[in-house]
């Protein structure tokens, strides 16, 4: 079962450059969790082992005050916003970005996924999972990463990414998920229920 959660008011398209020293920081995840924004990554280039800056083309959806607070957060980090286009949405277009939250996971399914996943307990109840996920072209308008953060309470760090909206090629993200073991297992199941390929 897929439940849709709709956010209202402002839609923004921003293009940001992420300096190399921020490659290990969950910047997009913090925009979602701290400012209650829905963010779709429309395109991205972030190389894992390089001194080069990365970049993200983001669609941001939320109420105007939250969008402004999120942009101020990026400016505090000295992340360069190369393009910015904000607009208020009319009522009929307020379902522009929707979170796809799945439900209906049994405890047996969670246990099965827990055995398969490469989960590392870091300290206490905090767990980390590292994997690569393929983003097919037909999912380019869906905020998949935002679902992991908003629906399952995970912190998501994108350690590498390649997603080009102007080609027919699929994209991929190298992800680190941080959270409780059950949250991570549910997050992995969410990606599988969306039909996305995962390499653990």
**Tens of pLDDT, residues 69-123:** 999 999 999 999 998 898 886 655 545 566 767 655 444 444 554 445 555 555 5
Residue 154 near residue 145 (C-beta atoms within 8 A): no
**Tens of pLDDT, residues 142-196:** 899 999 999 999 999 999 999 998 778 899 999 999 999 999 999 999 999 999 9
- Sign of the CA dihedral 93, 96, 102, 103? negative
* CATH 3.30.70.260 residue spans of the chain: 7-89, 101-199
Pick the CATH number of 7-89 from 3.30.70.260, 3.40.605.10, 1.10.287.3510, 3.20.20.70: 3.30.70.260
* Alpha carbon distance 81, 18 (integer Å): 9
Global pTM value: 0.81
The structure tokens 């942009």 sit at 71
């Amino acid at each position: 079962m897929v439940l849709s959660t709709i956010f209202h008011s402002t839609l923004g398209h921003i293009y940001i450059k992420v300096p190399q020293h921020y490659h290990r920081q969950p910047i997009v995840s913090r925009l979602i969790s701290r400012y209650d924004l829905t963010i779709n990554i429309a395109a991205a280039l972030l190389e894992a082992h390089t001194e080069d800056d990365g970049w993200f083309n983001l669609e941001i959806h939320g109420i105007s005050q939250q969008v402004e607070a999120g942009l101020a957060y990026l400016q505090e980090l000295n992340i360069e916003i190369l393009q910015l286009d904000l607009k208020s949405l009319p009522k009929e277009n307020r379902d522009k970005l929707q979170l796809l939250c799945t439900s209906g996971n049994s405890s047996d399914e969670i246990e099965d996924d827990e055995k398969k996943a490469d989960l590392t307990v870091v300290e206490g109840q905090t767990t980390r999972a590292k994997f690569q996920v393929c983003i097919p072209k037909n999912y380019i308008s869906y905020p998949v990463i935002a679902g992991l953060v908003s629906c399952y309470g995970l912190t998501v760090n994108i350690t590498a990414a390649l997603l080009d909206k102007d080609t027919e090629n699929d994209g991929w993200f190298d992800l680190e998920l941080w959270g409780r073991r059950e949250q991570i297992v549910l997050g992995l199941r969410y990606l599988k229920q969306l039909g996305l390929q995962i390499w653990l």
